Structure 1
Amino acid sequence: MKRLFWLGIGVTAGVIATRKVNATARKATPAGIGENIGAGLRELAEAVGAFGADVRAGMSEREQELARGVTERTGVELPGRRARGAGERAS
């Protein structure tokens, strides 16, 4: 029974080691390197897109604040702009 147990442990260790070696070898091939670079570039593009969206949202919010301030202080709405209330969003 002990021998069967140790045989099972050895087979399991061998399978795990073989899978890790194959995965590492796959990553070292040109195709594997290309996949890693492609995944990195996709992640970078998503981050840049999200950053741009955040910047545009912040700019729009600040523009609305400034337009409301002008309207409140002067009573004149800016041309081409409508001062929005706090709960309204830009279209």
Structure 2
Amino acid sequence: MPRLFWAALGAAAGVVVVRRVTKTAQAYTPEGVAHGLASIGEGLKEFAAAVREGMDRREQELRVALGIDTGTLDAEQARQLLEDPFGDASAQQPGSPRPDA
């Protein structure tokens, strides 16, 4: 009986080893490499889509915060605010630090 147990255990271990070796060998064939690269490409596409979605969401938040979409600022005022966020007011106040100084 113990011999039958060890024979069955050896056969099961042999099957597991052969399956793992076959799977690893398949990964290094041209088809396996192509499949791996395709899955990497899909991951990059998903990542790029998530980044674009986040950028769009943040742009909408900034547009509302700057008043561009609400009509409180016109395009020229928004452009000036983006170029010089502190405006001329900080330059006129003595002793006020400039962030770019």
Q: Bin the TM-score by the shorter chain.
A: 0.7 to 0.9
2:66 is aligned to 66
Given residue 19 of structure 2, which amino acid in structure 1 is its aligned partner? R
2:10 is aligned to 10
Give the unaligned 5+ runs of structure 1.
80-91
**Aligned-partner Cα distance in 2 for 1:63–1:77:** 11
1:38 is aligned to 38
CA RMSD of aligned residues (A): 1.8
**Aligned-partner Cα distance in 1 for 2:63–2:8:** 68
Given residue 49 of structure 2, which amino acid in structure 1 is its aligned partner? G
Given residue 42 of structure 2, which amino acid in structure 1 is its aligned partner? R
TM-score by structure 2 length?
0.66
Work out whether residues 67 and 73 of structure 2, in 8 Å CA contact, stay in contact via their aligned partners in 1: yes
Deviation at 1:78, TM superposition (A): 4.5
Stretches (4+) displaced over 6 A: none
1:56 is aligned to 56
- Report the identity percentage: 32
**Aligned-partner Cα distance in 2 for 1:40–1:52:** 18
Aligned residues between the structures: 73
Deviation at 1:77, TM superposition (A): 3.5
1:28 is aligned to 28
TM-score by structure 1 length?
0.73
Bigger CA radius of gyration: 2
